[in-house]
Amino acid sequence: MAQVSTTVQTRSRRQAGLTALYLGLFATVWFSVPSAGGLLRTLFVVASVAALLTAIAGFVVVARAGRAGPAGRDRAAHRRYLLIVVAEFASAGIGAVLLSAADRPEYVPVLVATVVGVHFFPLVHVLHEPHLRLLGVVVCAVALAGLITGLTTGVAAGLVAATGTGLALLGYAVTTLAGSLRRG
């Protein structure tokens, strides 16, 4: 019984570390998307550093958690995960090319944020992480806010989409990592 509990804890800690690692890295990328000057640029640099530190902390958690054992690897789930990620990258890439061809490259971050938000919904079942639904809703809402802002004001749609998506990913990564450390 203790062996099963240890395996579940290891898998849970490892999953939290992977979440912090991946989302921390992607948040860093999102914070590098908008071009800004002055104080806003400084805030993006600070947010990028925080996201990178979160990714590093996630890596440390993964390294310390070790492997969950041979039963810990679900090949079917891994294939589904890869399929979802490939579909995400393909959709975002094709959409970016189409928006650029239509001379609307300023909306590429909005489209990519939408695709990223939507991809969290099928990941709920693959990763057995119901909180990803909330992250998906938040990222999709941020993309919508970016679209509306870009269409109705002088503020760049990409600035809103990239900043909001980066903050959502970083917030989720930090929350997941903190929860894992609190339990562990």
How many other C-beta atoms lie within 10 A of the C-beta of residue 135?
25
What average pLDDT does the segment 153-161 reach? 93
Residue found under tokens 């890869």? 82
Short-list 123, 125, 154, 153, CA closest to 139: 123
What average pLDDT does the segment 145-167 reach? 95
Q: Give the H/E segment covering residue 146.
A: helix 132-152
Task: Supply the range of the domain harboring residue 120.
Answer: 2-183
- The residue type found at 61 is V
- In 18-156, the DSSP E strands lie at none
User: Against a cut of 0.85, is the pTM above it?
Assistant: yes
- The residue type found at 52 is L
Span 43-70, pLDDT tens digits = 999 999 999 999 999 999 999 887 765 5
Virtual torsion, Cα 182, 162, 90, 124, nearest 10 deg: 30
Q: What is the 3-state secondary structure (H, E, C) of 40-73?
A: HHHHHHHHHHHHHHHHHHHHHHHHHHCCCCHHHC
Sequence-distant (6+) residues with CB within 8 A of 91 are: 115
Residue found under tokens 């001379």? 103
**Summary mean pLDDT of the chain:** 89
Span 11-43, pLDDT tens digits = 688 889 999 999 999 999 999 887 777 888 899
Residues found in the chain: 184
Span 99-138, pLDDT tens digits = 999 999 999 999 999 999 999 999 999 989 999 999 999 9
How many other C-beta atoms lie within 10 A of the C-beta of residue 23?
26
CA-based torsion, 20, 85, 164, 125: positive or negative: negative
Q: Residue 127 and residue 9: Cα distance in Å, rounded?
A: 15
| Domain tally, the chain | 1
Of the pLDDT bands very low, low, confident and very high (cuts 50, 70, 90), residue 5 is very low
Contact between 87 and 118 under an 8 Å Cβ cutoff? The reply is: no
